[in-house]
Structure 1
């Protein structure tokens, strides 16, 4: 499903700029979460490191992207579901870290079981990660 990124930016009260659109298109075109170093490498001639960092931070704050930390501690980014907003992320799904190619996949089709916390506890973030070998590496 292709999303209209200009509408997405406008709906989030963000100025439509080529760097923002480039980041969204690059991340959306991947079948896996995209690392910040990969974004820097691909977009380096178009966007400097500080601008990229600000774009990613803003997108995460607005509920446009969610951040996933890989096995090496590197930030990776994926497009949020349309249910996410600046007030609440709703990306409660597993993330699969391939120990061979180091790609991080969002496992959107697998739903998490309800988790009952003890009285007085309030969950703000849920991060469940699976480590193994992805289908491409397991050939």
Structure 2
């Protein structure tokens, strides 16, 4: 999903998923859209000091259930959140893409534009979701180390 910083687009997303348009929800969407990497709840808490932890947790949980965001874990096991592709639906995500974990800055990047191989499971197995991640050094950290 392209990062749109205007509230009109975010309000459309909330309308589409039948969620009330609150300032906190709009701000969470804006924060997630403003970054090119996934963001953890603790990182959101640092910026959104006027929103309590429970409210932020409920917002992230509702967004994930509705298919607005998806969760990916960093190298420390911390959940990070990123906006979903526009074709995600309630309780059914279509975010089968590569996640890149940088070992230096610990950021998690969604690499949506890479072609992934088809997943051919043995007979009787049914895939509901899968996660593929790579660890390494991101371009920003790579430039710092030169």
TM-score class, shorter:
over 0.9
Of the structure 1 ranges 84-93 and 13-22, higher mean CA displacement relative to structure 2 is found in 84-93
Q: Give the distance between the partners of 2:57 and 2:121, measured in 1 at CA.
A: 34
1:18 corresponds in structure 2 to: 23
Q: Of 97, 107, 113, which aligns to 1:109?
A: 113
Deviation at 1:63, TM superposition (A): 0.1
Q: Please give the alpha-carbon distance, in whole angstroms, between the structure 1 residues aligned to 2:103 and 2:89.
A: 31
Candidates 68, 88, 93, aligned match of 1:89: 93
**Structure 2 Cα separation of the partners of residues 50 and 6 of structure 1:** 22
Shift of 1:76: 0.4
74-83 or 3-12, which deviates more: 3-12
Matched residue, 1:9? 14
The CA RMSD measured in Å over matched residues stands at 1.0
d(CA) in 1 for partners of 2:66, 2:11: 14
TM-score, normalised on structure 2? 0.92
**Count of aligned positions:** 138
Alpha-carbon offset, residue 124 of structure 1: 1.2
Q: Where is the helix percentage greater, Structure 1 or Structure 2? A: 2
Please give the per-residue CA displacement for 1:76-134, whole angstroms capped at 9, x wherever unaligned: 00000000010421100000000000000000111211011011101111000000000
Unpaired runs of 5+ in structure 1?
none
1:1-139 matched pairs, under 5 angstroms: 1=2, 2=4, 4-44=9-49, 46-139=50-143
State the alpha-carbon separation in 1 of the partners of residues 115 and 13 from structure 2: 25
More strand by share: 1
Task: Quote the Cα distance in structure 1 between the aligned partners of 2:93 and 2:72.
Answer: 13
Structure 2 unaligned spans of 5+ = none
